Structure 1
Amino acid sequence: MNRSSVEIITEWDIVAARQLGRNEAKKVGFGTVDQARITTAISELARNIYLYAGKGKIEIERVTDGEVCGIKVLASDDGPGIPDLRKVMEDGYSTSGGLGAGMPGVKRLMDEFKVISELGSGTTVTATKWLH
Structure 2
Amino acid sequence: MKGTLSNVPIAKELDIVGARQTGRNIATELGFSSVDQARIATAISELARNIYLYAKKGEITFQQVEGVAPVGLKIIAKDNGPGIKDISKSMIDGYSTSGGLGAGLPGVKRLMDDFDIMSSDEGTTIHVIKWLR
**Which bin holds the TM-score, normalised by the shorter protein?**
over 0.9
- State whether residues 24 and 62 of structure 1, in contact with CA within 8 Å, keep that contact through their aligned partners in structure 2: no
Alpha-carbon offset, residue 66 of structure 1? 7.0
Spell out the pairing of 1:98-117 with structure 2 (5 A cutoff): 98-117=100-119
Q: Given the two structures, how large is their TM-score scaled by the length of structure 1?
A: 0.96
Unaligned 5+ segments in structure 2 are: none
- Amino acid of the residue matched to residue 73 of structure 1? I
> Quick check: 2:68–2:131 contact (8 Å CA) kept in 1?
no
Provide the residue aligned with 1:4 in structure 2.
6
What is the SS of the residue equivalent to 2:46?
A: helix
Q: Is the 8 A contact 1:55 1:77 kept in 2?
A: yes
In structure 2, the residue matched to 1:70 is: 72
Under a length normalisation based on structure 2, what TM-score does the superposition of the two structures give?
Answer: 0.95
- 2: CA distance between counterparts of 1:75 and 1:105? 15
Secondary structure of the corresponding residue to residue 115 of structure 1: strand
Cα shift at 1:2: 3.6
**Aligned sequence identity (%):** 60
Instruction: Check conservation: 2:69, 2:131, Cα contact below 8 A.
Output: no
Counterpart pick for 2:23 among 13, 21, 24: 21
Distance in 1, Cα, partners of 2:52 & 2:20? 14
CA pair 110-54 structure 1, distance change in 2 beyond 3 A? same
What is the correspondence of 1:111-126 to structure 2 with a 5 Å cutoff? Answer: 111-119=113-121, 121-126=122-127
| CA RMSD of superposed structures (Å) | 1.0
Aligned to 2:85: 83
**In structure 1, the residue corresponding to 2:116 is in which secondary structure?**
strand
* Consecutive aligned runs of 4 or more in structure 1 exceeding 6 Å deviation: none
